[in-house]
């Protein structure tokens, strides 16, 4: 015990799963030639998109516009192999996501294998398909934590169900949240925030407390994939965002020790770009329903990258040697102004997918950064779009992103 | 505003009997040669002092008893370490890692 330490000395450092990584063991790799310098660290978390099927149709879904179909999904044994390989690679947490992961009948078997291999299992669910017996079975299989998404508070159920495109969803989610707590499992409420619910942030936080959550994510929508498609419908005004940010600060104090409030800021209104995935290929692996292994869930939007599949190559080999992982790992790929920027190992030049989408070169500075030559033009988009009337949602559904051929760029007048 | 009993912040005192709930998992991470605490979508990185304190948090021992034990084990002055232990456990209680 350090006697000279001040009383507020921190004995326990905290990190989200995207922020930290330990040293990689060379022998964890099954590749024939592991990197002798061993500079690559073991990933901390694995996002398993078990399926792209989902009963909800949220217009901000982070899945790609081209949703993978059920007939290409990995089978049970293949997912179980991913879990075993993840544990060997040093991964600590598994995020079982989708689409809607409970749409898979074999979820219990996948959870069981993950738990048996010492992985901490988080279920990221819309909850509407869950029955109480299934939740009990998942708990018995070793599920550690349940995160339920909501679209708005229960007293605004009609709005919530409109956003998710699923009638009765709000009430069903409330019921499932109650079962999670009755079974003694920890509950997180994830609330994607945008123009259609940003006015309700305080009520959403209070609702999370009422539901018994230990944690709430006030997750301002990130504008990729479906959300980018729907940006003009979803972007809140700067004023509305700032008001919500002040509420989050106040509620954090008020609810200290009762509810942990995590907040994700929309980068259109942030001072600096966000460190994409805590750094490309630094701590997170994403596996798609068909087994493609990505450094981030949006990486397929960078069209020149080539992705390996867990059906063809061991996970550790892909992590260490896969071309998509090594392309933007670390800082050596950077150009100016990133290359000499003092923040280059803080934000890693922002998001590669956004840089690619807006500049055509994923190695350019993310326009979210004020040092990008495109920054001013980019930031103005949010201001303009947030002040015009909201176009109808393009709902997330197979084929929904391009309902009519040959219509580009113009906002769709309806979601049909 | 809701009808259920309001949830309250856990305040750690010398009489508290802290414990980690079953869904908070402290284990040794052999690959990285360190102790880690796994929590819902969170990792905690406890230093050796925190590990020794948390190993004693079994829901039966009081913070006072834990302090007594560590004062003996480490031959440290009790009054110096009690405030440190309470501050650490309060911080962890606020993050949902410790209940009492």
**Whole-number pLDDT of residue A85:** 97
Between vectors from CA A308 to CA A305 and to CA A311, what angle results, nearest 5°?
160
Reply yes or no: is the peptide bond before residue A143 cis, omega within 30 of 0: no
pLDDT at A407: 44
ipTM for this prediction: 0.91
Closest by Cα among A225, A293, A208 to A259: A208
Q: Do B41 and A28 touch (CB under 8 A)?
A: no
Question: In the prediction, which pLDDT does B33 show?
Answer: 87
Q: Could you tell me the pLDDT band of residue A404, with boundaries at 50, 70 and 90?
A: low
Distances (CA, A) of A150 to A51, A130, A216: 20, 15, 10
Q: What average pLDDT does the structure give for chain A?
A: 88
For testing the chain A interface, which of B19, B40, B57, B82 should be mutated: the one with the most A CBs within 10 Å? B40
Structure confidence at residue A32 (pLDDT): 35
Q: What pLDDT score was predicted for residue A275?
A: 84
Tokens 């201001």, located at residue: A383
- Give the number of other Cβ atoms within 10 Å of residue A252's Cβ: 15
Per-residue tokens: A43: 């990933």
Q: Provide the pLDDT for residue A195.
A: 97
Give how far the C-alpha of residue A216 lies from the chain's centroid of Cα atoms, to the nearest Å.
Answer: 14
- Does residue A7 carry a pLDDT above 60? no
State how beta strands A187-193 and A215-220 pair: parallel
Separation between Cα atoms, residue A340 and residue B73, nearest integer Å: 50
User: Quick one: pLDDT band at residue B87, thresholds 50, 70, 90?
Assistant: very high
From CA A72, how far away is CA A49, in angstroms rounded? Answer: 13
Report whether A207 contacts A216 (CB < 8 A). no
Which of A244, A275, A263, A233 shows the shortest CA–CA distance to A382?
A233
Average pLDDT, chain B: 91
Question: pLDDT tens across A91-129, in order?
Answer: 999 999 999 999 999 999 999 999 999 999 999 999 999
Q: Are strands A187-193 and A145-149 parallel, antiparallel or unpaired?
A: parallel
> Which residues, listed in sequence order, are joined to residue A49 by a DSSP beta bridge?
A97
CA B25 to chain centre: 12
Please name the residue that has the structure tokens 């050596």. A332
* Cβ contacts of A164 within 8 Å, gap of 6 or more: A56, A57, A58, A126, A151
* β-strand partners of B39: B42
- pLDDT of A22 > 90? The answer is no
Closest CA to A357 of A348, A346, A347, A368: A368
Q: A409: helix, coil or strand?
A: coil
Residue of A nearest to B38 (CA): A120
pLDDT at B6: 60
Asked whether the beta carbons of residue B96 and residue A186 sit closer than 8 angstroms, the reply is: yes
CB contact under 8 A, A22 and B41: no
A17 contacts in chain B (CB < 8 Å): 41-43
Which pLDDT belongs to residue A10?
Answer: 78
Q: Which of A170-179, B7-16, B41-50: highest mean pLDDT?
A: A170-179
Q: Residue A370: CB partners within 8 Å, gap ≥ 6?
A: A271, A272
Q: Number of Cβ pairs closer than 8 Å across A and B?
A: 125
What is the pLDDT at residue A9? 57
Residue of chain A whose alpha carbon sits nearest to that of B23 = A144
Contacts of A214 in chain B (CB under 8 A): 40, 96
Nearest by CB: B7 against A7, A92, A258 = A258
Which residues in chain B are contacts of A186 at CB distance < 8 A? 21, 23, 39-40, 96
Binary contact (A184, B22; C-beta < 8 A): yes
Parallel, antiparallel or unpaired: strands A120-125 and A284-287: unpaired
pLDDT band at A15 (very low <50, low <70, confident <90, very high): low
Option in B8, B45, B88 nearest A258 (CB): B8
pLDDT per residue as tens digits for the range A299-347: 999 999 999 999 999 999 999 999 999 999 999 999 999 999 999 999 9
Residues of chain B contacting residue A5, judged by C-beta atoms under 8 Å apart: 84
Question: Is the C-alpha dihedral spanning A384, A387, A388, A393 positive or negative?
Answer: positive
Q: Do A256 and B21 touch (CB under 8 A)?
A: no
Of A106, A50, A107, A108, the C-alpha closest to A74 is: A50
């Amino acid at each position: 015990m350090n006697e000279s330490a001040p009383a507020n000395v921190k004995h326990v450092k905290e990190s989200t799963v995207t922020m930290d990584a330990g040293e990689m063991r060379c022998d964890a790799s099954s590749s024939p030639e592991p990197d002798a310098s061993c500079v690559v660290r073991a990933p901390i978390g694995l996002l398993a998109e078990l399926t792209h099927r989902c009963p909800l149709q949220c217009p901000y879904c982070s899945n790609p516009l081209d949703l993978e179909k059920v007939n290409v999904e990995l089978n049970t044994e293949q997912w179980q192999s991913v879990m075993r390989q993840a544990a060997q690679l040093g991964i600590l947490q598994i995020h079982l996501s989708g689409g809607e992961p409970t749409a898979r009948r074999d979820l219990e078997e996948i959870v069981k294998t993950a738990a048996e291999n010492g992985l901490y299992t988080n279920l990221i669910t819309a909850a509407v398909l869950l029955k109480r017996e299934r939740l009990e079975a998942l708990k018995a299989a070793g599920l550690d934590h349940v995160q339920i998404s909501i679209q708005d508070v229960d007293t605004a159920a009609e709005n919530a169900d409109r956003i998710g495109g699923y009638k009765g969803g709000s009430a069903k989610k409330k019921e499932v949240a109650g079962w999670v707590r009755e079974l003694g499992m920890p509950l997180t409420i994830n609330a994607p925030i945008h123009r259609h619910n940003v006015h309700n942030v305080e009520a959403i936080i209070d609702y999370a407390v009422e539901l018994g959550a230990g944690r709430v994510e006030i997750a301002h929508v990130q504008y990729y994939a479906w959300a980018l498609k729907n940006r003009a419908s979803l972007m809140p005004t700067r004023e509305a965002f700032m008001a919500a940010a002040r509420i989050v600060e106040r509620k954090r104090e008020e609810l200290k020790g009762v509810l942990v409030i995590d907040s994700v800021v929309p980068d259109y209104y942030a001072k600096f770009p966000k460190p994409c995935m805590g750094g490309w290929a630094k701590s997170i692996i994403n596996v798609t329903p068909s087994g493609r292994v990505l450094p981030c869930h949006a990486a397929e939007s960078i069209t020149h990258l080539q992705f390996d599949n867990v059906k063809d190559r061991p996970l550790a080999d892909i992590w260490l040697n896969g071309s998509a992982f090594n392309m933007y790992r670390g800082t050596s790929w950077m150009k100016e102004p990133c290359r000499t920027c003092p923040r280059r190992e803080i934000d890693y030049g922002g998001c590669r997918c956004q840089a690619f989408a807006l500049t055509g070169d994923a190695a350019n500075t993310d326009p979210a950064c004020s040092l990008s030559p495109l920054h001013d033009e980019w930031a103005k988009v949010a201001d303009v779009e947030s002040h015009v009337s909201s176009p109808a949602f393009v709902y997330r559904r197979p084929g929904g992103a391009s309902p009519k051929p040959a219509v580009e760029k113009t906002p769709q007048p309806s979601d049909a | 505003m809701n009808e259920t009993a309001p949830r309250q912040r856990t305040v750690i005192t010398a009489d508290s009997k802290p414990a980690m709930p079953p869904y908070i998992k402290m284990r040794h991470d052999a690959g990285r040669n360190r102790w880690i605490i796994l929590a819902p979508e969170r990792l905690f990185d406890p230093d050796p002092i925190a590990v020794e304190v948390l190993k004693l948090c079994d829901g039966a021992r009081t913070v006072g008893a834990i302090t007594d034990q560590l004062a003996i084990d480490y031959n440290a002055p009790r009054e110096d370490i009690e405030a440190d232990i309470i501050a650490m456990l309060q911080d962890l209680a606020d993050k949902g890692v410790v209940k009492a």
